Structures are given as structure tokens and as C-alpha cells.
Amino acid sequence: MTTPDPDGLLAEQLLRLTRRVHRIQKRHLQQRILGITPAQSRLLRTLGEYDAPPRMADLAGRLEVVPRAVTTLVDGLEANGQVRRAPDPTNRRVIRIELTDQGRETLRELHGARRSAAEEILAPLTDVERRVLGTLLDTLVDGGSGGEGQC
């Protein structure tokens, strides 16, 4: 007879939750008929975090992907009018990626889709449970950096 593995169960629950979140967010994106993939939406959200248009290499680093993957995403978004490539004013060899007006509007729609997906996912939880979950998720995302190395 084997004993239950509570950490294994938690890991499985986290994986199932991640898949559920992805499915729900994808459905909310499709309902808004934005015509972009989840990977493109992630790139748009990342672009929205910059104060000035970033280089492709900056985006690749932030997204933790190879530069070629960013090029493919930018190609698709550029073809749809969401972003544009612009030369760097100080170094003509550098290309920066800018959101267009249409890209900014899509980004607003993305935020709305993510909010509605989050509302659906979190609906079963009370306000107190949501705060506790937020605290626990912050701890996991940060890797427990406040207590690493301590016994």
C-alpha cells in the first residue's frame, strides 16, 4: 500500500488549474473575435509594459523565448496592423517595435477578456479566499525569496 503524496497532488492541481485558466482565457479571447493567438496577445501585453518601444531582443528576453519566435509573432501582428517596426532614432541598425492605435485598442480588449476570464475562474471564491489565494500565489511566483536558505 502506498501513502498519498500531498506535494504530487498539489502539483497536479496546479497543472490542471493552469490548463483550465488557459482554456477559459482562450475562449474569452475568441468571443471578442480579436483575430490574434494567445502568444500574440502575450507579446502585445508585454509591449504595453514598456514606456518606449523596445527592440526585438528586449522582447525576446522579457518573454523568455528565442529572438526568432518574436520575429514570427511581430510579423503576424504587423500584418494585422497591431504593431509596426520603426527605426531607432539613435542607431539605424536597430529596429524598435511600436504599438499602433489598433494595437492599443486590441490591448484594451485583451485586458477586458482577461478580466472577464478571471471573474469566471474566481467566481467560486469569497473575497477573503481571493486575498489568501493572491498571497499564496505571490509566494509561489516569488519562489519564497524572503525565506530561501533558512531552516
pLDDT in tens for each of the 151 residues of the chain? 566 677 788 889 889 998 998 888 888 877 777 778 878 989 999 999 999 999 999 999 999 999 999 999 999 999 999 999 999 989 989 999 999 999 999 999 888 888 898 999 999 999 999 999 999 989 988 886 654 443 3
| Cα–Cα dist 34/31, whole Å | 8
pTM for this model (two decimals) = 0.70
All cell numbers assigned to 51: 514606456
Which grid coordinates belong to 58?
A: 528586449
